[in-house]
Amino acid sequence: MQNPRKFREKIIERSFSSVSAISLLILISIFIFLFITGIKAFTQISLSDFFLGNVWNPTAYGEPTWGILSLIVGTLMIAIGSLIIAIPLGLASAIYLSEIARPEIREIVKPAIEMIAGVPSVVLGLIGIVFLSPLIANIFGLSNGLNALTSSIIVAIMILPTIISISEDVLTSLPKDFREASLALGATKWQMIKMTLLPAGLSGIVAAIMLGLGRAVGETMAVLMVAGNSIAMPASFFDPIRPMTANIAIEINEVVKGSLHYEALFAIGLVLFVMTFAVNLISDIIIERQVRKYKW
Amino acid sequence: MQEENAKIEFKCMNFWYNDKQILTDINIKIYPKRVTALIGPSGCGKTTMLRCINRMNDLIPISRISGKILYNNEDIYDKSVDVIDLRKKIGMVFQKPNPFPMSIFDNVAYGLRIQNRRDKNKVKQIVKESLEKADLWDEVKDRLNLSAFRLSGGQQQRLCIARALAIDPDIILLDEPCSALDPLATAKIELLLRKLKNERTIIIVTHNMHQAKRISDYTCYLLNGKVIEYSGTAEMFDNPKNKLTKEYINGEFG
Amino acid sequence: MVTENIRQNTYFILFRIAAFLSVVILLFVLLYVIKEGIGVININFLTSMWSHRDITQGGIFPAIIGTILLAIGVSIISIPLGICTAIYLNEYAKENMFTRTIKLAIRNLAGVPSIVYGIFGMAFFVLFLNLGGSLIAASLTLGCMTLPWIITASEEALKSVPYSFREGSYALGATKWETVRKNVLPHSFSGMITGSILGVSRAMGETAPIIMVGATFFMGYLPTSPFDKFMALPYHLFILATQHSSPSAGEYAMGTALVLIALIFILNLGIFILRYNLRKRKEW
């Protein structure tokens, strides 16, 4: 009998689509809520004060100031600092795993690197406080090691698995044809890698780096613990900083709910949301194009 | 068969992938400045044999070889031989055109750049000459900076030939270069090969007997990894000595 | 070409060092935590309540319970929701611009910082819905954060089932649901579950979101209802590391970290073994 079967199918499909709609609704409402709360801040704070002012002092006795520039600089310093460390290390490891390592070694090293990704950021932050920052303080003769440098190193460790994993996937997905043609012309393996594979896989590798960037921008706990938490504009990597994520975490429990300060923190959250979502989106599109290009 | 010095000589050559023997007791001489065709049904080992000449089979870890392959009277598998250098003297064109994801110019110049020959004018000149020899220059001279992927299949294959020619190899190996191409493109490449043989030694694997008949001077017929017959092309096709050869030529099996 | 060979060898040695450096870092992290934290681990530490006055007397049992309860809460909320959404998007929804945009958006929500989910959770669940700082608010918040991961992982599992299986089923006159249930789900279910549990294990280690939705440093009792506040390992560890005044705080922080890592590791190991066994049974 056709009808009961068709009816049941329709119900099942409807159930699935409703459930999906709920998921999607949840995800959309996250953005909407952030937006609504955060945008209210701009009714009282001008955009230029917010983005270009370099003093963040919401609890000032007289006139509170809302400039997040030093916070943005803090975030960017960590992003750049961690990428400077993680890109060469990550790319070199990816090339090793994809082109040089014997399969047996690859089987061990690859999962080991992915396990780093499983270590919670608090734990890495803890190691930063207890081990790395005294070390940095010693080496550079500082009073303490809680600064942009230490944070960059810890965050670099955290984004390393992302960069390695995706770059390696990009390289191994390149077709065999290029390698054969290159070697048949008398190229050494390194010439083949440098002159054929890397240019061909470049956009995918860039995408991997962007994903790493996204994680670096969004990292909260580890930087909260080792960045030093000073809202003054840093002059060098040896200065303490307070990136946007840490700022929210520090102040959110102490604000009066619904106050301008509260809304301003949401505005910062909104900025973070947009930054990370955009970086991830661009990277995703690049990867999709890269994969399509070479899947003959 | 002419009694000249062989460019390449297989001496008691055997080849295995692990325990599976692919080539058995190959003993033939390849003569210089001629086109030699390797023919035979699918799976007879002709591509494997070709790839032994520029040691591309080294890339497969389970491969094993015994016997010698002499190139200009020196065993190419000898420990003192630098395989990278070897490959610079032996060019290869593959079954499916495989241009690099670069411009037409960069594709041809690639072989020069890996030898660190970067004199810009010299490189331009060699690229032009190679594309002319590959019969592609007129079609691409105004768009050398375009991506190689914009060319048609036949053009891409001629580009790969130009790329191989750019490093002025002594020998050119072609592995069924026309099997992915239409008849018109095939005809162009066959014409091209006939011109090239005046300067270089050409070895071509083909499963199209008629092609072998059209362009080669010598033909080697392989079956199940053994050389069944090897002689001048005209001689082999008009008067095959071996019964198996006769059967293959008459199309009794493919 | 001697120089080219030298150049290649030099680069390759550097690359090898880079790769092994990454492994060394991992080992260092693990061994350091074990070395520094193992001293405080004992039955008392693992099973007794936290002692506020003298931390050397108490234990982190409530934090362990809190973390486990959170994991259960997050699983209940986001796994069924996530898997069903993935099934709909991959099997039922039409292949058009709209669906592709949605899938893209979901994948990229997974990259949004956890603190952003945290303030959302606070604004919505704690305040707007008036659930207060509680286990339920935290589970919902972490659930929202984990949802995109789970949907993406489940989608990957579904995509890995070859289309030919579905084709064969339709050709025999089966309906879509019959095809999905009999031909797609059996092969992808394990992938979906393991991907989901991996997402949950990542949620277990998150601190930022729970700071503002109910995690506390010290509670004298175990949470008995979803509306109670709770202790959790990552938050506990964080406070010990940064704000506690006791001289042994550092050591106890390490001990807590060790327990947290061990918990996550056990969960991952379980998944790994499960995946290995299920993969062995697959014939394709």
The pLDDT tens digits for C145-193 are 999 889 988 988 898 888 877 877 777 777 788 888 877 888 888 888 8
Does residue C82 belong to the interface with chain A, where contact is any CB pair within 8 Å?
A: yes
Would you place residue C1 in the very low, low, confident or very high pLDDT band (cuts 50, 70, 90)?
low
Quick one: C77 and C32 in the same domain? no
Distance from CA of B116 to the nearest CA of C (A): 10
| Residue with token string 């004060």 | A49
List chain C residues with CB under 8 Å of B84.
1, 4-5
Residue A65 lies in a domain: no
> Stretch C191-211: mean pLDDT, rounded?
88
CATH assignment of the domain containing C100: 1.10.3720.10
Distance from CA of B111 to the nearest CA of A (A): 6
Residue C148 has which token pair? Answer: 């995109």
Read off the amino acid at residue A240. P
Closest residue, chain B, to A290 (C-alpha): B101
Closest CA to C177 of A2, A11, A4, A21: A11
Structure tokens given for C156: 């990957």
- Digit-coded pLDDT (tens) for B174-225: 999 998 889 999 999 999 998 888 889 999 999 888 899 999 999 999 999 9
Strand, coil or helix: B88: helix
Structure tokens at C258: 């060790």
B10 pairs with which residues across the strands?
B69
- Interior angle at CA A274, CA A271 and CA A276, nearest 5: 105
CB contact under 8 Å between B82 and C1, yes or no, is yes
Give B98's contacts in chain A (Cβ within 8 Å).
Answer: 177-178, 180-181
How confident is the model over C101-127, as a mean pLDDT?
86
Of the residues B110, B163, B173, the best mutation for testing chain A's interface (the one with the most A CB atoms within 10 Å of its CB) is: B110
Chain C residue at shortest CA distance from B87: C1
Which residues in chain A are closer than 8 Å to C181, comparing Cβ atoms? none
- Return the closest-CA partner of residue A261 out of A60, A70, A75, A62: A60
Q: Is A195 on the interface with B (CB under 8 A)?
A: yes
Give the number of A-C residue pairs with CB atoms closer than 8 Å.
246
Separation of alpha carbons A289 and A293, rounded Å: 6
**Contact check, Cβ <8 Å, A112/C205:** no
Long-range (24+ apart) CB contacts under 8 A made by A107-111 are: A109/C19, A109/C20, A109/C22, A109/C23, A110/A165, A110/A168
**Inter-chain CB proximity C205 and A123 less than 8 Å:** yes
In-domain check, residue C50: no
Q: Do A182 and A120 lie in a common domain?
A: yes
Instruction: Tell me: do C6 and C94 sit in the same domain.
Output: no
Same domain, A234 and A89: yes
**Do residues C236 and C142 both lie within one domain?**
yes
Is residue A59 one of the residues assigned to a domain?
no
- C-alpha triplet C117, C123, C126: angle, nearest 5°: 100
Instruction: Answer yes or no: do C74 and C20 share one domain.
Output: no
B56 has a pLDDT exceeding 60 = yes
CA nearest to C78, candidates C195, C225, C230, C159: C195
Q: CATH no. for residue A128?
A: 1.10.3720.10
- DSSP structure string for chain A: -HHHHHHHHHHHHHHHHHHHHHHHHHHHHHHHHHHHHHHHHTTTS-HHHHHH---EETT-SSS-EE--HHHHHHHHHHHHHHHHHHHHHHHHHHHIIIIIS-HHHHHHHHHHHHHHTTS-HHHHHHHIIIIIHHHHHHHHT-S---SHHHHHHHHHHHHHHHHHHHHHHHHHTS-HHHHHHHHHTT--HHHHIIIIIHHHHHHHHHHHHHHHHHHHHH--HHHHHHSB---SPPSSTTS-B--HHHHHHHHTTTSPTTSHHHHHHHHHHHHHHHHHHHHHHHHHHHHHHHHHHH--
Question: What pLDDT sits at residue A296?
Answer: 35
Q: Are residues C8 and C83 in the same domain?
A: no
Burial of A102 (0-12, 13-18, 19+ CB in 10 A): exposed
Q: What is each CA distance from C225 to A157, C228, C229, in whole angstroms? A: 39, 6, 9
Asked if A211 and A283 count as a contact pair (C-beta separation under 8 A), the reply is yes
- The alpha-carbon gap from B41 to the nearest alpha carbon of chain C, in Å, equals 31
Which of A178, A185, A200 comes nearest B114 by C-beta? A185
CA-CA distances (angstroms) from residue A275 to A156, A282, C32, C101? 19, 11, 34, 18
Is there a domain that residue A223 lies in?
yes
In a domain, C238, yes or no: yes
Whole-model pTM: value is 0.82
The answer to whether residue A31 is domain-embedded is yes
Using the beta-carbon criterion (under 8 Å), do A183 and B88 form an inter-chain contact?
no
Q: Would the CB atoms of A187 and B114 count as touching at under 8 Å?
A: yes
Given this model, what pLDDT does residue A145 score? 85
**d(Cα B183, Cα C120) in Å, to the nearest integer?**
66
Residue of chain A minimizing CA distance to C1:
A188
Contacts of C8 in chain A (CB under 8 A): 188-191
Domain that holds residue A184: 73-255+275-294
Q: Do C4 and A191 touch (CB under 8 A)?
A: yes
Note the pLDDT of residue A294: 63
Chains that touch B (3 or more CB pairs under 8 A): A, C
**C253 lies within 8 A of chain A by CB:** yes
| Eight-state DSSP code of residue B225 | T
Q: Are residues A98 and A206 in the same domain?
A: yes
Mutation site for B-interface testing, chosen from A100, A176, A185 by largest number of B Cβ within 10 Å? A185
Q: Helical H runs in C56-213? A: 61-87, 97-109, 114-121, 135-159, 163-171, 176-179, 185-204, 208-211
B203 CA: distance to closest CA in chain C (Å): 26
Q: To the nearest whole angstrom, how far is the Cα of C15 from the nearest Cα of chain B?
A: 21
> With an 8 Å Cβ cutoff, are B110 and A199 in contact?
no
| Cβ contact, residue pair A130, C14, below 8 Å | no
Residues A145 and A90 placed together within one structural domain of the fold: yes
Query: Residue C283 has which token pair?
Result: 């014939």
Say yes or no: C156 and C271 in one domain: yes
Do residues A161 and A91 share a domain?
Answer: yes
In a domain, residue A135? The reply is: yes
Cβ <8 Å between C25 and A160: yes
A103 plus A198 within the same structural domain: yes
Residue C38's pLDDT is what? Answer: 87
pLDDT greater than 70 at residue B251: yes
Asked if residue A12 and residue A108 are part of one domain, the reply reads: no
User: Which chain B residues have a beta carbon less than 8 Å from that of C1?
Assistant: 82, 84-85, 115
> Residue C115 and residue A113: Cβ atoms within 8 Å?
no
Q: How far is the C-alpha of C202 from the C-alpha of C40, rounded, in Å?
A: 25
Whether residues C30 and C99 fall in one domain: no
Q: What is the pLDDT of residue C127?
A: 83
* CB-CB neighbors (< 8 A) of A160 in chain C: 22, 25
- Residues from chain B that touch C5, judged by Cβ atoms under 8 A, are 84
Please report the pLDDT score of residue B217 as a whole number. 93
Averaged confidence pLDDT in chain B: 90
Mean pLDDT, range C35-53, rounded to an integer:
80
CB contact under 8 A, A185 and B91: yes
C28 domain-assigned = yes
Tracing tokens 């989608």 back to the chain, one arrives at: C155
Is 60 exceeded by the pLDDT of residue C234?
Answer: yes
Whether residue A220 is found in the same domain as residue A107 = yes
Smallest CA-to-CA distance from B172 within B101, B87, B105 is with: B87
On whether both A30 and A88 belong to a single domain, the answer is: no
Nearest Cβ partner for A195 among B84, B99, B113: B113
- Whole-angstrom CA distances from C92 to C87, C172, C174, C184 are 7, 19, 15, 12
The reported pLDDT for the residue numbered A88 is 95
A49 within domain boundaries: no
Residue C242's Cβ-count burial label (10 Å; 0-12, 13-18, 19+) is middle
Range of the domain at C156: 63-281
Collapsed DSSP state (helix, strand, coil) of residue B40: coil
The answer to whether residues C170 and C130 belong to one domain is yes
Same domain, A11 and A131: no
Low-confidence ranges of chain A (pLDDT < 70): 1-2, 61, 291, 294-296
Name chain B contacts of A199, Cβ cutoff 8 Å: 101-102
CA distance C106 to A63: 41
What is the predicted pLDDT for the residue at B3?
A: 56
Domains held by chain C: number: 2
**Which chain A positions have a beta carbon within 8 Å of B114's beta carbon?**
185-188, 191, 195
If one counts every other C-beta atom within 10 angstroms of the C-beta of residue B194, the result is 14
B113 touches chain A (CB under 8 A): yes
Q: What is the mean pLDDT of residues B26-53?
A: 92
Q: Which of A277, A281, A263, A261 is nearest to A33 (CA)?
A: A263
CA distance B79 to chain C (A): 16
> Which residue in C1, C3, C5 has the most chain B C-beta atoms within 10 A of its own C-beta, making it the best mutation to test that interface?
C1
C101 and C33 part of one domain: no
Q: Which residue of A has its CA nearest to B160?
A: A181
Q: Are A244 and A271 in contact (CB under 8 A)?
A: yes
Q: Give the relative orientation of helices A148-172 and C2-37 as an angle to the nearest 10 degrees.
A: 120
Query: Are C20 and C137 found together in one domain?
Result: no
Task: Flag whether pLDDT at C44 surpasses 80.
Answer: no
Question: Is residue C46 in a domain?
Answer: no
Q: Which two tokens stand for residue A128?
A: 């930063």
Sheet containing B218-223: which strands, arranged edge to edge?
B90-93, B171-175, B201-205, B35-39, B218-223, B226-232
- The answer to whether residue C139 sits within a structural domain is yes
Q: What b/e string do you get for C251-280 counting C-beta neighbours within 10 Å, with b at 16 or more?
A: bbbbbbbbbbbebbeebbeebeeebeeeee
- The residue of chain C nearest to residue B83, with distances taken between CA atoms, is C1
Q: Is A83 in the same domain as A20?
A: no
3-state DSSP assignment of residue B219:
strand
B96, closest residue in chain A (CA to CA): A177
Measured between beta carbons, which residues in chain C are less than 8 angstroms from residue A221? 207-208, 234, 238
Nearest CA in chain C to B88: C1
Q: Which of C62-66, C226-230, C255-259 has the lowest mean pLDDT?
A: C226-230
Measure in Å the smallest separation between the Cα of A95 and chain B Cα atoms: 18
C205 and C94 in a common domain: yes
Query: What burial class does residue C89 get, using C-beta atoms within 10 Å of its C-beta: 0-12 exposed, 13-18 middle, 19+ buried?
Result: buried
| Beta-ladder partners of B220 | B38, B230
Beta-carbon separation of A187 and B98 below 8 A: no
- CB contacts, 8 Å: C241 with chain A: 122, 125-126, 129-130, 225
Are residues A24 and A152 part of one domain?
no
Structure tokens at A77: 């310093």
What is the pLDDT at residue A44?
Answer: 82
Q: Which residues of A touch B101 (CB under 8 A)?
A: 178, 199-200, 293-294
Q: Structurally, how many domains does chain A consist of?
A: 2
* CA angle in degrees (0–180, nearest 5) for A226-A114-A122: 25
Lowest mean pLDDT, pick from A153-157, B61-65, C94-98, C145-149:
C94-98
Residue C284 has pLDDT above 50, yes or no: no
Residue A124, pLDDT score: 93
**C5·B84 Cβ contact <8 A:** yes
Looking at the structure, tell me whether residues C69 and C36 fall in a common domain: no
Asked whether residue C71 is assigned to any structural domain, the reply reads: yes
Give whole-number Cα distances, B221 to A24, A28, B14, C132, in Å. 66, 69, 16, 85
CB < 8 Å to B82, chain C: 1
Which chains does chain C touch, 3 or more C-beta pairs < 8 A? A, B
